[in-house]
Amino acid sequence: MGEPLGNRDEGVKANLWVIMTGLGVLVESATDPAVLMKRVVPPKKVGGKDVLPHEPTLVLKPGGIPMLVRGREIEFLPKGAGSPELKDEYRKLLIPVGKDLASPSKVRIGILDNGILTEGTKVVLAGGSLEAVHVDENYLLDKVSQNISISLVGLFDPDQDHRTQVEKKAAANGLLYRRQIMPADGQPSVRIGNEEFQLVPVAKEAMGNLRENDGNTDYVVWIVNVASEGFSDPDPDLDRDFYLLYDWLEEEIEVRYVPITERKRADDTGQGDPPGQCMYGHAIY
């Protein structure tokens, strides 16, 4: 895939990597940058179709056991500061949650005010940088790539059963967060609600496309928020779950469009389509 993901910096003890796929909205704020991940328990009806349950699940690499987050806040320690950098080249790969999916809408301020999300999870991503990436298969580091193999080709109104064609554009199905941790900052860990878990280093040879020859120790967390039972819609290229992301927004939008995507197999392994049919929206708070 060309150059490894991320940038090099001398004198840093650790690289913290967080890969995310699934139903979530990126919220940009100087004081509380985060990804909001939508819980869907029990199933909901969208356009007359069931949307299967979604529950954010976190895995600590290497070899961690999947942990259900169940609406608790996720924060990475030592803490970072400010919003992570998101370059325009990656921003354009995110699909905005808003009218016509053209420009991002704002998230309701009350969702973040209380510090408790009854309908979802907040993943705090302070400091560092963000990239929009393609993920062929969850939990496999060699399946994370900058070679995007999904395209947005249309919009669908599930209430009116109406489709609109749009100019074809590449669309990512995952986010990659990276932060560099200085030696004096201490041991990296992740806090899930009131529980804290120490991270375990991942060997360089197991880092796949995230591998950096910088001599730093690597720590990896993977967060997935996709239905484990399969897609609720028989058309795998229609992202009905995206409709649910509008529930975060502060404004009333009469028509809730969902993306129609065109996907191609990213490799010849026979593994099928990539995960993350509920692709990332992008909202400004």
Q: What sign does the dihedral 91-74-278-244 (CA atoms) show?
A: negative
Q: In the predicted model, what is the mean pLDDT of the chain?
A: 86
pLDDT in tens, 226-253: 876 655 566 778 888 899 999 899 888 8
Cβ within 8 Å of residue 270, ≥6 positions away: none
9: pLDDT confidence band, cut at 50, 70 and 90? very low
How much is the pTM? 0.91
pLDDT digits (tens, 9 = 90+) for 37-90: 999 888 888 878 888 888 899 999 999 999 999 889 999 999 998 899 999 999
* The pLDDT of residue 134: 93
115-169 residue pLDDT tens: 667 789 999 999 999 999 999 889 999 999 999 989 999 999 988 889 999 999 9
Mean pLDDT of 259-275: 67
Structure tokens belonging to residue 23: 């139903």
Closest by Cα among 153, 167, 151, 160 to 256: 160
C-alpha pair distances (Å), 23 with each of 64, 97, 131, 189:
22, 12, 17, 24
